Every structure is written in structure tokens, then in C-alpha cells.
Structure 1
Amino acid sequence: GTDFRELTTIRLALKDGPAPDPAAATADAYTAHRPAMSHARTELNKSVPEDQEVDKLVDFYAAEMEAQLDEAMVWSLTDLDARFTVIRSTESNMGNFVCDIVRIAMDAEVVLFNSGTLRSDMVHGAG
């Protein structure tokens, strides 16, 4: 949600066992192997209690980020387009760049990224 007033939890339950053989599988085999998905929307208001462990993590990372704000984190050889008209309507090199960084840093196979997180609305020049 906008301004952290709500969040959505998405749960995927993967099936045990190997994926169907593409050469021999029927459509039903693929459907049976499809992960189960559920989601729940939570409105963040005073009825949701604060989580002290989360507060500690937020405080820790906020202090870490504050200490590093004046340091260059990355260099790019090309312009990175983060204009709202681009990032909110199509794939962009800025979105790909951010997802690649997260994927590598977290050793993840997949990154889901809400492009609305990027708020600069500009093209970041190479460098």
C-alpha cells in the first residue's frame, strides 16, 4: 500500500517432487504441480501491535544506512531510467539493476520488486 498504510502477505506452497517432464506431461500434470497461492491484506493502524524485534532491526539498518549515505554504493556505465512514466508502465533498466543487486546480495533465485518504491522520477546519469 501507499505510505505504508497497508501490506499484503503472499504465500506460495510449492509441491513436493520433480516438475513434470515437458516432453510427456499433459496440461493436467502441470496444473497439479502448480504451487498453491494465498494472500492477505493487512491495514496498518493502531490495532496492529508494534513488534519489538522488527523495531530493533529497523533501528539497526536505519543507523547503518545513515552512516553510508554520503558514500557511492555503485557505479553504472549507462544512464538508469527511473522516471515514473517508465518504471510504472514497463520494464526498465533501473528496475532490473535494483533487482539484480538484491538477488545477488540475498543469494535469491527470484526478486519481486514494486517499482513504486523508486521515487526519484529522473534519469540517473552514468557514473
Structure 2
Amino acid sequence: MLGQAAISACRTKDTYLSARYRRLVGRRGRRRALVALQHSILISIWHMFTRGIEYTDLGGDYFFERAGKTRAPRRLVSQLNRLGYQVNLQPVEATWMLLTCTDGGFSYQRSSRREAPGGQVL
């Protein structure tokens, strides 16, 4: 029964358990990742029963947010440096999608800055 729960959990999208499975399957393989997921589910159930709390999912981006947004670029730049490349990172300017409603339907417009209908920059 716990195995079926683990298989179902690894197939869900944007959940903590599916993110944990995806992280483990690359290093440990499918079977060991499923056993580790079963263990995580069992530990969560134990905490819920002993503490009397409900399950709250941490989200699919938990591991990314936990590590911080500077860790991955730093690691990737370091890997490229070891391969003999010199990298200079520049932040990408955010693009916004502006949706306007007309009598004939909707139209989309990409913009590098966000403007209100009156021309004011938001």
C-alpha cells in the first residue's frame, strides 16, 4: 500500500514528493528512489500522528528555494570555468505579456516593460 502511494506521489506535478523523487532517481535509480519516497511518506505520517498536525506540502520548488537562487548559477559557472570557458552573467530583463480585449477577441503584446493602458510604466 505504501508502495502504491509512493508511485502515485512521484507522478504528481509540482509537489514536494515528486521533486524529491526526481532529485533521487538521477543519483540512486528508480527502485531506490521509490523506497526513499516511501520512507519520506512514512516519516510524514508519523509526524502527523504524533504531533496532531495536518500535512502541508512544501511545493515542487522547495529544493530550489532552499538552496537559494545564487547557488545554481555559481555552480554552473564554476563547471564551465573548469572546462576552460570564461563566463560573464548578465541578468535578463523581464518581459511582460499585455492582454487587450477587443470586439473581435483578445490580442497579446510582448513588452520589455510593463505599461498600463494610459501609457504609464508599472
TM-score, normalised to structure 2, is 0.23
Larger Rg over CA atoms: 2
Per chain length, whose mean CA-contact separation is higher, i.e. which structure has more relative contact order (CA < 8 Å, sep 6+)? 1
* Structure with a larger share of its residues in strand: 1
Q: Could you state the TM-score of these two structures normalised by the residue count of structure 1? A: 0.22
| The structure with more helix, counted as a fraction of residues | 2
